[in-house]
Amino acid sequence: MIPLSWYLILAAGLFSIGLFGVLARRNAVAILLGVELMLNAININLVAFWRYGEVSTMAGQVFTIIVFAVAAAEVAVGLALVISVYRRRNTVVAEELDLLKW
């Protein structure tokens, strides 16, 4: 069987790519995509730890499914916000959306 660390390395890589996307991309939709990548990296971790740990309890799988549900809801809200912002400001570039500055 493939050792656990491989899965973890995969998840870490995926997470880093997501994080980079969140921090570096200018497009708000791309930032959302990055967030989704980070969530799924976590999902891999959860499932991997379940598989290599106590198999009889299904905690890892249940957590993963909850994260899916939350992520789906989040994306729905996030995309709605992006569309709303685009309608008002005619842009989805994160740098230009600086209304919260002092």
Partner 1 sequence: MTHELVTKLVWFIPLPPLLAFALIVLFTNKSKALSHTVAISAAFLSWLGSMIIFWNALKVEEFGKEPFAASIPWLPTGNTWLKIGVLIDPLSAAVLFFVAWTVLMIFIYSVGYHNYGQPAGDHDHAGLPPHGATVHGHAVPSVEPMYSRFFAFIGLFAFGMYTLVVSDNLLTLFVGWEIMGLCSYLLIGFWFGKPSARNAAVKAFMTTRIGDVFMLIGIAFLYHATGTLSYREIFTEETLHVLSTVPSGVFGLSAAGFIAILLFIGTIGKSAQFPLHVWLPDAMEGPTPVSAMIHAATMVSAGVYAVIRMFPLLSAGWHEGAPLTPEMTFVAVIGAFTAIFAATIAVAQNDIKRVLAYSTISQLGFMIAALGIGAYIAAVFHLITHAFFKALLFLGSGSVIHGMEHGVLHTGNHSIDPQDMFNMGGLRRKMPVTFWTFLIGGFALSGFPVLTAGFWSKDEILADAFINGHMAVFVTLAVAAFMTAFYTMRQITLTFLGEARTKEAEHASENKWTMTAPLVVLSVFAIGYGWVGIPEHFPLLGGLVPNWIHEFVGGTLAEHPPVLEFSIWPLLTSLVVALGGLGLGWLYYRNVKSAKEDIFQISFLKNKYYFDELYQAVFIKPAVWISEVFVSQWMDKGFIDGILHVFGPATGGLGSFIRDKFDLPVVNQFIGDGSANATYWLGKNLRPIQTGRIQQYLILSLILIVVIGGLLFTLLVRSA
| C-beta separation of 43 from 83 below 8 A | no
In the stretch 77-96, what mask flags binding to partner 1 with x, by CB under 8 A? -----------------xx-
Q: Is 91 exposed, middle or buried (0-12, 13-18, 19+ CB in 10 A)?
A: middle
DSSP 3-state assignment of 99? coil
Kindly state whether residue 75 participates in binding partner 1, applying the rule CB under 8 A. no
Kindly indicate which of the ranges 6-14, 17-25, 55-63, 80-88 contains the residues binding partner 1, using the contact rule CB under 8 A.
Answer: 17-25
Kindly state whether residue 32 participates in binding partner 1, applying the rule CB under 8 A. no
